[in-house]
Amino acid sequence: MYLMNHISLKSTFLFLLVLCSFSCENALEEEIMIYNNDFSTADLNFIENGRLFEFNGDTVLGYYNDEEVVLNLASLPEHNAIKVTIDLLLHDSWDGNPENVGGPDFWYLELDGQSVLNTTFSNSPCESTFCLYQSYPANYPRFNNPKTEALSTDLPGRCQHKNGNGWTSLYRITKIINHKQNQLSITLGDDLKQENTPEPICDESWSVSSIQVSTLTIN
Ligand SMILES: [Ca+2]
Ligand SMILES: [Ca+2]
């Protein structure tokens, strides 16, 4: 029982259009939403290492530090690509790219064990003379300002900076990946470096407020 989502179909078409710029001959024939979870019903079916907590009045998946969480989906309809959209919350003092006692701070996304995104995030201040750059929206290593492309940058921290706004950033990450098999696994994980703190999980962590997965048929 699959539900076509026409709003999503339109947004995927626009996304593809942007991806292929001027000379795209691909056409999106079908998009079927197969998984849509904002965790408001506490549904952790199909999720390995799933747990929930309240962040800023919202039930979210997490929190995690030095961990992986895996979503396994089976009995997929026929398709040749997958669209994954993740609303990712990065809490407290992520350092981005620097190679020192505090970084780099990696976060990654894999589909069936293959890397889709392997990047760093920074919640750190950025002044003209001192800036802890992040790689996102590119893969590591690239130099982008902290919070580049964040959907929201003024949320409170979760632990170390729970009394300060601007210490959780929210990103909506959308990826379209070639895929044909009738099952898939999506892995989210981190590799944080925190030799500068006695309490790592309070210093840096992440959680997920929404995951959506669609199968696509692109011709
Ligand atoms: Ca830090
Ligand atoms: Ca760090």
User: What would the two tokens of residue 83 be?
Assistant: 């669209």
Quick one: average pLDDT of 198-207?
Answer: 96
- Rounded CA separation 198/120 (Å): 22
Average pLDDT over residues 182-195: 97
Token pair listed for 158: 């979760």
Q: Cis link prior to 141 (omega < 30° from 0)?
A: yes
Residue 120 one-letter amino acid: T
Predicted local confidence at residue 18, as pLDDT = 57
pLDDT at 13: 67
192 CA from centroid of ligand 2 (Å): 6
**8-state DSSP, 134:** B
User: What separation in Å is there between the alpha carbon of 40 and the centre of ligand 2?
Assistant: 30
Ligand 1 center from residue 26 Cα (angstroms): 43
The mean of the pLDDT values for the chain is 93
Amino acid code (one letter) for 43: D
- Rounded to the nearest whole angstrom, what is the distance from the C-alpha of residue 107 to the centroid of ligand 2? 11
Ligand nearest to the CA of 124: 1
Q: How confident is the model at residue 1 (pLDDT cuts 50, 70, 90)?
A: very low
CA–centroid distance, 17 to ligand 2, in Å, is 36
* CA–centroid distance, residue 20 to ligand 1 (Å): 37
Would you state the pLDDT for residue 196?
86
Task: Give the distance (Å) from ligand 2 centre to CA of residue 102.
Answer: 4
Nearest bound ligand to the CA of residue 194 = 2
The Cβ of residue 198 has, within 10 Å, a number of other Cβ atoms equal to 7
Q: What domains, with CATH codes, occur in the chain?
A: 35-213 (2.60.120)
End-to-end CA distance of the chain: 24
Q: Which uninterrupted H or E stretch holds 216?
A: strand 204-218
CA distance 1 to 199: 46
Q: How far apart are CA 178 and CA 82, in angstroms?
A: 6
137-179 tens-digit pLDDT: 999 999 999 999 999 999 999 999 999 999 999 999 999 999 9
> How far, in Å, from the CA of 171 to the mean position of ligand 1?
18
**What value does the mean pLDDT take over residues 74-101?**
98
Q: Could you give the count of Cα atoms lying within 13 Å of 167 in the half-sphere of its Cβ?
A: 17
State pLDDT tens for residues 2-19: 444 555 566 776 666 556
In angstroms, what is the span from residue 132 Cα to ligand 1's centroid? 10
Whether residue 25 has pLDDT greater than 90: no
Residue 85 Cα to ligand 2 midpoint, Å, equals 25
Check residue 136 and give its pLDDT.
Answer: 98
Half-sphere exposure (Cβ direction) of 100: Cα atoms closer than 13 Å: 9
Q: What is the mean pLDDT of residues 89-94?
A: 98
Which among 192, 197, 206, 196 has a CA at the least distance from the CA of 96?
Answer: 192
**CA 128 / ligand 2 centre spacing (Å):** 21
Return the percentage of the chain with pLDDT > 70, whole number.
Answer: 90
Q: Within 10 Å of residue 163's Cβ, how many Cβ atoms?
A: 8
